[in-house]
């Protein structure tokens, strides 16, 4: 494995490990948060976030990718001066967008609360609004560093955000809930969201320091004396050419969440479900379920982030063999990670939810959430492949393709939601099936265009058959172990649940890794150096 090939693996390792840690902390954070603001508060909390995520995607999703890709291109061509010009221009744009969206959410907080028919959400919208400015500014610095293949600051800034939420948001939520004679859900939720905003501000300060250090390192890159300086007009046009399709594509999933937040609860209420029950069910689905499936998708996000500058740099050198090889590695990694995560999460859905949320939700809602998680977990492998293919296409300059495929997928998701959720016998259970359809519809054409534009020959055996077989054997082992020794998680205490889940996870990993190495679903030489040493030492023993 060459040094160039190692870059994607090491970059994914750094961002992937940090991302998983952040997602695990996020899951653990929601356990005490649910206990503090109650299951009703989680319904309010989950109602605020879709609007925030949509505005965040509009303001900051595309430009960081454009910065990363364009900087990688010009640095590869020994033109750091233009790379710096690109960053400065993009930073100004992001600062303006961040300020506008933050003010917009503050000004429209009352109207947004009214649109959800939930006045408890207004303070939440106000508390999270400044975070839009902080994240927009921070995304510019992340793009600057990622364009230089430096993923460590991004990873650390993500950790700062999550740790800040634990130590700031939870106390603020606790204080907010106790304002008044009865629990104050509106202030409790607002306190939690304000804590998130403060954590983003601290993370931005860290990225400012990292940018200064990285800017000094960029000074050492040789400058081609024949390179022509880019004008501001040309930089903006190039940024927009890359960023607009990516932004539109990135807005699609948050837009679907935004529509869901206005759609799912009214559809359930129209099907005869009580308003308070509908809020709890919606909170359970968008809270515990979506939070848990987002843990392994952190690796997918890391893959997409790394593939953009990697593919862009290969194309800048006109190295088609390198681009095809990196594409193959990226897709294979997506499958090797996605399949076992989907199967494992689905198999252990009920034990995990009982362990994490038994004190925050009534048993009937926990059982429904477990059913939702069993289905939703299957979206992990689809989402992982969509992220990998989107990163490859964005790096190849075909960023409009994943945008279009996601538009079609989300349109079908909304249509299926409307059909299933309004059915009283299906209601909230229709939402995860709609998500499965969405990512399947997006993934299939993405794979076709990846092969078309990177000269990669898709291998069904390597990308589908081998990882799926390993995951199936792993799932069988987990199923037998859990049912033989543990059974219904509702009858187990917390310690037994922890032991059972850890044993099943360890057994599943052992079966999956052993099978993957045996049938060459994973090649040892494609792993990070430390992992290679551990596996080879184990095999020798």
* Residue 100 buriedness (CB in 10 A; 0-12 / 13-18 / 19+): middle
The reported pLDDT for the residue numbered 19 is: 62
Domain spans in the chain, listed from the N-terminal domain onward = 51-230
CA–CA distance, 34 with 40 (Å, rounded to integer): 9
Sign of CA pseudo-dihedral 250, 256, 258, 261: negative
Contact present, 474 and 343 (Cβ < 8 Å): yes
Q: What is the mean pLDDT of each run of 10 residues along the chain (541 residues)?
A: 45 57 72 85 83 75 78 81 87 90 91 86 92 89 80 82 86 89 86 91 91 78 82 86 71 69 81 83 83 73 63 78 83 88 93 85 88 92 88 82 87 89 87 90 93 88 92 95 90 89 94 88 59 56 49
Per DSSP, the residues of 20-70 read: HHHHHHHHHHHHHHHHHHHHHHHHHHHHHHHHHHHHHHHHHSHHHHHHHHH
Distance of alpha carbon 339 from alpha carbon 356, whole angstroms: 23
**Residue 224, SS3?**
coil
Separation of alpha carbons 19 and 135, rounded Å: 17
pTM: 0.69
In angstroms, the CA 65 to CA 234 distance is 17
pLDDT at site 443: 93
The answer to whether 135 and 98 are in contact (CB under 8 A) is yes
Q: Is 164 helix (H, G, I), strand (E, B) or coil?
A: helix
How much of the chain is helix, strand and coil, in % rounded to 5?
A: 85, 0, 15
Q: At what angle do helices 3-60 and 297-316 cross, to 10 degrees?
A: 110
Take residue 292 and report the two structure tokens written for it.
Answer: 């848990």
So what's the pLDDT on residue 64? 79
Upper half-sphere CA count for residue 154 (Cβ side, 13 Å): 28
CA distances for 142 relative to 62, 100, 154, 242, angstroms:
12, 20, 6, 17
- The secondary structure of 157-200 as a DSSP string is HHHHHHHHIIIIIHHHHHHHHTSSSS--HHHHHHHHHHHHHHHH
The residues, any chain, with a CB within 8 Å of residue 527's CB and separated by 6 or more, are: 9, 535
Residue 6, pLDDT score:
44
Determine the 3-state secondary structure of 296 from DSSP. Answer: coil
- Give the length of the chain: 541
**Which residue from 374, 509, 394, 511 is spatially nearest to 446, judged by alpha carbons?**
394
CA distance 358 to 34: 10
Note the pLDDT of residue 303. Answer: 59
């Amino acid at each position: 494995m060459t040094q160039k090939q190692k870059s994607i693996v090491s970059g994914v390792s750094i961002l992937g490990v940090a991302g998983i840690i952040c997602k695990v902390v996020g899951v653990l954070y929601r356990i005490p948060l649910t206990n503090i603001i109650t299951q009703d508060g989680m319904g309010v909390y989950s109602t605020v976030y879709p609007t925030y995520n949509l505005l965040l995607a509009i303001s900051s999703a595309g430009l960081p990718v454009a910065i990363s890709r364009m900087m990688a291109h010009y640095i590869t061509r020994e033109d750091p001066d233009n790379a710096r010009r690109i960053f400065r221009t993009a930073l100004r744009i992001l600062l303006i967008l961040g300020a506008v969206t933050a003010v917009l959410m503050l000004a429209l907080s009352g109207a947004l609360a009214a649109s959800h028919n939930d006045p408890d959400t207004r303070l939440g919208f106000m508390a999270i609004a400044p975070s839009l400015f902080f994240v927009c500014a921070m995304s510019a610095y992340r793009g600057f560093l990622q364009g230089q293949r430096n993923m460590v600051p991004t990873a650390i800034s993500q950790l700062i955000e999550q740790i800040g939420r634990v130590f700031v948001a939870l106390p603020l939520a606790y204080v907010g809930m106790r304002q008044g004679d009865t629990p104050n859900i509106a202030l409790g939720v607002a306190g939690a969201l304000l804590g998130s905003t403060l954590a983003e501000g601290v993370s931005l300060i860290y990225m400012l320091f990292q940018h200064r250090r990285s800017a000094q390192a960029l000074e050492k890159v040789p400058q081609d004396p024949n390179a022509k300086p880019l004008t501001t007009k040309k930089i903006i046009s190039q940024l927009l050419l890359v960023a607009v399709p990516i932004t539109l594509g990135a807005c699609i999933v948050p837009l679907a969440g935004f529509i869901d937040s206005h759609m799912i609860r009214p559809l359930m209420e129209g099907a005869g479900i009580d308003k308070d029950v509908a809020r709890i069910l919606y909170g359970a689905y968008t809270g515990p379920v979506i939070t848990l499936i987002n843990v392994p998708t952190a690796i997918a996000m890391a893959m997409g982030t790394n593939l953009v500058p990697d593919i862009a740099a290969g194309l800048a050198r006109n190295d088609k063999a390198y681009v095809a090889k990196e594409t193959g590695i990226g897709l294979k990694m997506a499958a090797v990670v996605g399949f076992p995560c989907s199967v494992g999460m689905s198999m252990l859905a009920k034990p995990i939810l009982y362990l994490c949320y038994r004190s925050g939700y009534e048993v009937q809602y926990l059982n429904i959430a477990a059913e939702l998680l069993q289905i939703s977990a299957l979206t992990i492998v689809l989402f992982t492949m969509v992220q990998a293919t989107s990163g490859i296409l964005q790096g190849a300059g075909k960023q409009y393709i994943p945008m279009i495929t996601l538009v079609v997928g989300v349109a079908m998701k909304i249509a299926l939601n409307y059909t299933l959720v309004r059915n009283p016998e299906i209601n909230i259970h229709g939402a995860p099936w709609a998500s499965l359809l969405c990512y399947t519809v997006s993934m299939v054409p993405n794979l076709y265009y990846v092969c078309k534009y990177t000269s990669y020959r898709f291998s069904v055996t390597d990308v589908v058959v081998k990882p799926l077989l390993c995951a199936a054997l792993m799932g069988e082992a987990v199923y037998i172990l859990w049912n033989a020794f543990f059974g219904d998680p509702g009858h187990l205490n917390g310690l037994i649940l922890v032991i059972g889940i850890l044993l099943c996870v360890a057994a599943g990993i052992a079966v999956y890794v052993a099978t993957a190495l045996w049938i060459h679903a994973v090649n040892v030489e494609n792993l990070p150096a430390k992992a290679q040493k551990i596996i080879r030492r184990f095999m020798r023993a």
